[in-house]
């Protein structure tokens, strides 16, 4: 029996893999001596049998070391954040320039939409001219000159994850906490930040729908990052309703710019302050959470965060004038209101379904080759716990110039809102479900 088959059989039968067995597997994935079938079999065995904390850490480090590992120490202290994503989650767009304005450098490598969730890269690319595909040299220049870089993953970072992720996508092995932990952290740790804050979403619009699963993933992310000697903190936050009002790409950039101007929805502001305060504390820029929040709020109000965003846009090839003139962002060609049929309280928003419906109008891709229509999206006016009068808009569908309204679409959007009788109620989840 070959080494890899022995490893597969051991995990299939519930055994604990050694660091060496995990390292050999990842090396074989990277140099392609392990076949797709063998890799998929081990992934399925891990998915069914799970992994111990030590196995998860070994897998993370082996995957991290499958490619380049970046040393950011020439830049001084560099921070990063990771969100597990959801619908309307645009915190990176605000947080990166806001931290730069507060004197904390960030280097963020973001992804595209995955499943029903939006992707930071698609949002950034809604800004005319913005280039997310940047080299390591450009990344270094951006971190040094602007104080933040907003780039796409390069081919050189964690190549084992790229192959394993593609296999997981087609073998029903995405939803495994050890595999998700290793996938996220192999990339995060390889890019060398000195402190990371994690935002693990939970609720019906999150990958981890149950708070207990979000807790387990969050603990694994924070503890494994700390085990590397870096600072880490995290939160489980609500994704049983979209974050903010805008869902899409250009409209999420617009909402982010509004917050950078000191305006913008309260839940998005709270999300950004929560994560940002941890990183200001980690960087030693503030001594208390109160002081950190005061500094962050001041930068949102005095225009310095917005100036930092304009600088990063300009440095990455985009038109910084969007910060002053929101009409320069891609605009919808048509709008359709979805109104409440009767008065009542919103009991539930089917957030995952809303995300999937947004993909249908071009906010993301159902297939890899699909093209995003940056001007398409939603404005969500009512969320869980809020009251609505009969005939009031729950949501507005915005269609970009390349997009037609799909058949029966407005009825399907309306069905995402469960409205009950009676007065307002608390949302099912508080915004901050848990500090990890
Ligand atoms: N994001 C990742 O990078 N990997 C996963 O497995 C899930 C989300």
6 pLDDT higher than 80:
yes
Q: What percent of the chain has pLDDT over 90?
A: 87
**CB 184 near ligand 1, within 6 Å:** yes
Ligand 1 pocket: which of 108, 157, 163, 184 to mutate (most atoms <8 Å of CB)?
184
Percent of the chain as helix, strand, coil, to the nearest 5: 45, 15, 40
Reported as a pLDDT band with limits 50, 70 and 90, residue 424 is low
- Give the tens place of pLDDT for each residue, 327-385: 999 999 999 999 999 999 999 999 999 999 999 999 998 777 788 999 999 999 999 98
pLDDT, the chain, mean: 95
CA distance 365 to 293: 36
The pLDDT, as a whole number, for residue 68 is 96
- pLDDT cut 70: percent of the chain above it: 99
What is the edge-to-edge ordering of all strands in the sheet holding 231-238? 148-152, 105-110, 78-83, 195-202, 231-238, 432-435
Tens of pLDDT along 179-200? 999 999 999 999 999 999 999 9
Q: What single-letter DSSP state applies at residue 208?
A: B
Could you confirm whether 233 is annotated as catalytic? no
Cα 425 to ligand 1 centre (Å): 34
Record the pTM: 0.94
Q: What average pLDDT does range 193-215 have in this prediction? A: 96
Q: How far apart are the C-alpha atoms of 173 and 43, rounded to whole Å?
A: 7
Model pLDDT, residue 172: 87
Residue 183: CB within 6 Å of ligand 1?
A: yes
pLDDT of 12 higher than 70: yes
Take residue 364 and report the two structure tokens written for it: 């993301």
Q: What is the β-pairing status of strands 393-399 and 432-435?
A: unpaired
Rounded-to-integer distance, Cα 296 and Cα 111, Å: 25
Residue 369 CB-half CA count within 13 A: 0
C-alpha–C-alpha distance, residues 255 and 294, integer Å: 21
51 Cβ contact partners less than 8 Å away, ≥ 6 residues apart: 17, 59, 178
Best substitution site from 43, 59, 168, 174 to test ligand 1's pocket, by max atoms within 8 Å of Cβ?
Answer: 174
Distance CA 150, CA 314 (A): 12
By residue count, the chain amounts to: 436
Q: What is the pLDDT of residues 34-61, one digit of tens each?
A: 999 999 999 999 999 999 989 999 999 9
Residue pointed to by tokens 């990842």: 26
User: Both tokens of residue 410?
Assistant: 């407005």
Give the number of other Cβ atoms within 10 Å of residue 83's Cβ.
24
Lowest mean pLDDT among 75-79, 166-170, 261-265, 311-315: 166-170
pLDDT at 400: 97
Of the residues 81, 82, 90, 379, which is catalytic? 82
Confidence of residue 65 (pLDDT cuts 50, 70, 90): very high
Q: How far is the CA of 320 from the centre of ligand 1 (A)?
A: 31
Which among 81, 175, 180 is the best mutation to test ligand 1's pocket, defined by most ligand atoms within 8 Å of the CB? 180
Protein residue closest via CA to atom 2 of ligand 1: 184
Active site residue 187: yes
Decide: 273 and 281 in contact? Cβ < 8 Å.
no
Does residue 183 have an active-site annotation?
A: yes
């Amino acid at each position: 029996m070959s080494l890899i088959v022995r490893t597969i059989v051991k995990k299939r039968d519930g055994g604990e893999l050694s660091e060496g067995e995990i390292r050999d597997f990842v090396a074989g994935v990277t140099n392609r001596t392990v076949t797709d079938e063998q890799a998929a079999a081990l992934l399925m065995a891990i998915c069914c049998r799970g992994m111990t904390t030590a196995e998860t850490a070994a897998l993370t480090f082996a995957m991290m070391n499958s490619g380049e590992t970046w040393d950011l120490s020439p830049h001084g202290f560099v921070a990063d954040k990771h969100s597990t994503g959801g619908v309307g989650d645009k915190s990176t767009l605000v947080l990166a320039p806001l931290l730069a304005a507060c004197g904390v450098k960030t280097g963020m490598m973001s992804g595209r939409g995955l499943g029903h969730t939006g992707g930071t890269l698609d949002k950034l690319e809604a800004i005319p001219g913005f280039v997310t595909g940047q080299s390591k040299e450009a990344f270094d220049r951006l971190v040094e000159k602007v104080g933040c870089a907003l780039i796409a993953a390069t081919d050189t970072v964690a190549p084992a994850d790229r192959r394993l992720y593609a296999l997981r996508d087609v073998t029903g092995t995405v939803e495994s906490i050890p595999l998700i932990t290793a996938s996220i952290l192999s990339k995060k740790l390889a890019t060398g930040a000195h402190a990371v804050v994690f935002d693990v979403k939970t609720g019906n619009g999150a990958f981890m729908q149950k708070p207990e699963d979000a807790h387990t993933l969050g603990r694994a992310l924070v503890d494994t990052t700390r085990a590397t000697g870096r600072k880490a903190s995290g939160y489980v936050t609500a994704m049983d309703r979209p974050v903010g009002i805008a869902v899409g790409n250009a409209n999420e950039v617009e909402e982010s710019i509004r917050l950078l101007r000191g305006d913008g929805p309260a839940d998005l502001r709270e999300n950004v302050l929560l994560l940002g305060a941890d990183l200001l504390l980690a960087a030693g820029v503030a001594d208390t959470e109160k002081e950190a929040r005061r500094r962050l709020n001041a930068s949102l109000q005095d225009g310095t965060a917005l100036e930092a965003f304009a600088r990063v846009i300009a440095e990455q090839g985009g038109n910084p004038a969007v910060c002053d003139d929101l009409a320069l962002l891609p605009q919808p060609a048509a709008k359709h209101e979805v109104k409440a049929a009767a008065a009542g309280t919103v009991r539930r928003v089917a957030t995952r379904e809303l995300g999937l419906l947004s993909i249908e109008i071009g906010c993301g891709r159902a297939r890899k080759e699909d093209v995003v229509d940056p001007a398409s999206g939603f404005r969500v006016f009512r969320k869980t716990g809020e009251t609505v009068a009969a005939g009031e808009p729950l949501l507005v569908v915005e269609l970009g110039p390349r997009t037609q309204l799909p058949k029966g679409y407005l009825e399907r959007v309306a069905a995402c809102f469960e409205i009950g009788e009676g007065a307002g109620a608390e949302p099912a989840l508080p915004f901050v479900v848990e500090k990890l």
